[in-house]
Amino acid sequence: MDKLNKKQQNLIVIFLKKETIRSSEVHAELVKSGDNVSLVTVKRALSKLAEAGILTTSGSGRSASYNLSPAGRILAEVDAHEYCAIEPDKRYGLNRYNFALLAAWPPALFTGDELKILDGATAEYKSRTKKLPEAIQKKELERLIIELSWKSSKIEGNTYTLLDTEKLILENKPAAGHDRKEAQMILNHKDAFNFVRSSAAQFKTITRKNLEDLHAILVNNLTVGLGLRGKPVGVVGSIYRPLDNIYQITEAVGALGAAVSRAQTAYEKALIALLGIGYIQPFADGNKRTSRLAANALLLAHGLAPLSYRSIDEAEYREAMLVFYELNSAMPFKKIFIDQYDFAARNYAAK
């Protein structure tokens, strides 16, 4: 995928805020922001974006108007922190599920330079794990599982420390003064990772069955209903409301699986799963946990390094997800994914 330039991204931001507008209105917005570009130049730029599938058009002549396509939304460069600083009810994002989004997902979202970073990290990972002694491999795998279980649970508000988590997983000793459910959440992560590692062949793509199987392990003994939900759920701090119809949720999971299958690389597949499962919210609870483990399942199924999320900033993670929910922009989370994959591939030596 070729990266859009700064001027093109500035145009996309206008459409995120205004939705359907004419070229003259786009020109007025640019002039208001201090850009003395001509109307002819604006029209030319809009035509190029339309030819690239970033914009859609309606009408003709002076009445012609433009709208941002689903693919354009995915590629929009958004400052997630700045956007999320706006009070939820004053944001300009979407408050409903975008049915066209997953079908429009580009099969190659990463640029050539980004793929070089990812492939370079993978090459180092494979080189270090090629002839790893069994004892070291076991230790490294334990470290990965501990750090993944700790950080993924912490993102969900779990108060266990990394040391608490290590003692729980290695010695089966829950930390004093913590709710039983916190220990259960962490142990479920360990079981879920072992499941996707031993069942890698099942996760070449995403299906309703493998998602439900994975989710059931992650919410074991946590009083969470199993299977696709039949009731509405909300997202804290967001104007976005996921689908509330089980038939539409089922179709959305199918669309997600199709998008994952179309993706050209396993990195793309994992990123789509991370964002798509969170966006659909197919379960009553445990959706983000399921998305993180499903992404690892896809990476492992294709012989790549799994993510621990250890170095992730939880606030940055939440903001990037909110931007995807409300604006459908994958760009903030794509950066997080690249950083986390590069970190994991260069810091763990476990297959």
**Rounded Cα distance, 151 and 166, in Å:** 12
229-277: pLDDT as tens digits: 999 999 999 999 999 999 999 999 999 999 999 999 999 999 999 999 9
Grade residue 2 by pLDDT with cuts at 50, 70 and 90: low
Best CA proximity match to 279, nearest among 203, 337, 206, 330:
330
What tens digit of pLDDT does each residue of 313-334 get? 999 999 999 999 999 999 999 9
The whole-model pTM stands at 0.93
Tell me where in the chain the CATH 1.10.10.10 domain(s) lie. 6-68
The tens digit of pLDDT for each residue in 66-125 reads 999 999 999 999 999 999 999 999 999 999 999 999 999 988 899 999 999 999 999 999
Q: What angle do CA 182, 187, 193 make, to 5 degrees?
A: 130
DSSP assignments along 27-60, one per residue: HHHHHHTT----HHHHHHHHHHHHHTTSEEEES-
Res. 14: pLDDT tops 70: yes
Q: How confident is the model at residue 33 (pLDDT cuts 50, 70, 90)?
A: confident
- As its CATH architecture, domain 102-347 has Orthogonal Bundle (1.10)
Residue 65, classed as helix, strand or coil, is: strand
CATH 1.10.10.10 matches 6-68: yes
